[in-house]
Amino acid sequence: MSANHRIVSGRATLAIEVIGIGEPVVFLHANVCDSRMWRGQMDGVATDHKAIAYDRRGFGETRYEEEHFSAVADLKAVIDAMADGGPAVLVGCSLGGQIALDFALQYPSRVRALIVIAPNISGAPEAVYPPEINDLMDQLKKAEVVGDLDLVSAMKARLLLDGPLEPEGRVTGAVRQLFLDMHAIALRSPTVGVNLDSGAAFDRLGEISAPSLVICGDRDFPHIQERCRHAVDAMLNASYHALSGAAHLPSLAQPAEVTKLIVEFINRCSGAR
């Protein structure tokens, strides 16, 4: 059974969904989505675990006032309130993955295991794009400058759902519409304020000892695929899984496969205790 919760962190009231009971598994969404991006995974994980997903400031149903804040502190507030005082498994995609990694460095005893999908990594080198992708990124910047939010959403769907080197519209139907709905809320939300987190995880990945799984689609940006492989090489207890045919948001485009990977990894970690 699903339950909705609201917890306060600073001037934000974070919207949280919880399904199931057992070991807590906290899902952190990408910066273009909200907690609904994990619809395909929550039920599968909740069969044997407590699945927790929340909307960050500026996304979904979370309400907030503009202020300086810490995304890591917001995550800690969720874990403190919902994880029954124990360590949690963190599952993060893109910027959600970055927050999970930063949290693991700051609060290692609170992390049972990590699953990061195409994660941003604080302190990573700036991306270098091949010419064909650079042209698309220039078009996106121009749309952002003139405030054409519909074009921005369409281009983000092209880059992140289809893949930057794939034909536009490769991923269609309800998945694409859900992405556009989630991203529309994010684009039109009031300013959240300055995130004060100043982690530099890229050079500290070797300090993360929690069992970790890094997942990346083989249709994602080349620099993200390279960054994921670097993370696996640098982390102490990490493995890599390349998802065939997936771009930056495989939980949306390949929900069954991502759910299977998450559940199997969590069960292996639980069995190893």
Mean pLDDT across 62-86? 95
Mean pLDDT across 18-45? 97
- The whole-angstrom distance between residue 135's C-alpha and the CA centroid of its chain comes to 26
What is the band of 260 on the pLDDT scale with cuts at 50, 70, 90? very high
pTM for this model (two decimals): 0.96
Structural domains of the chain in order of their starting residue, each with its CATH number: 2-126+192-271 (3.40.50.1820), 131-188 (no CATH)
Residue 86: DSSP 8-state: S
Name residue 3's amino acid: A
Whether the predicted pLDDT of 173 surpasses 90: yes
Q: What percent of the chain has pLDDT over 70?
A: 99
Mean pLDDT across 188-192? 96
Report the candidate in 94, 82, 80, 246 with the shortest Cα–Cα distance to residue 182: 94
**Token duo for residue 25:** 């598994």
**Token duo for residue 187:** 């684009």
Report the candidate in 112, 111, 168 with the shortest Cα–Cα distance to residue 136: 168
For all residues of the chain together, what is the average pLDDT? 96
Mean pLDDT across 114-141? 96
B/e letters for 238-247, b = 16+ CB within 10 Å, e = fewer, are beebebeebb
Whether the predicted pLDDT of 11 surpasses 80: yes
Name residue 109's amino acid: S
Bridge partners of 117? 93, 215
B/e letters for 32-70, b = 16+ CB within 10 Å, e = fewer, are bbbbbbbebbbebbbebbbbbbbbbbbbbbbebeeeebb
pLDDT of residue 271: 62
**Token duo for residue 12:** 């934000």
Name residue 58's amino acid: G
pLDDT tens digit sequence for 131-168 = 999 999 999 999 999 999 999 999 999 999 999 999 99
CA-CA distance, 43 to 235, in Å (whole number)?
29
Q: At what angle do helices 95-106 and 71-82 cross, to 10 degrees?
A: 70
Neighbours of 132 (CB within 10 A): 9
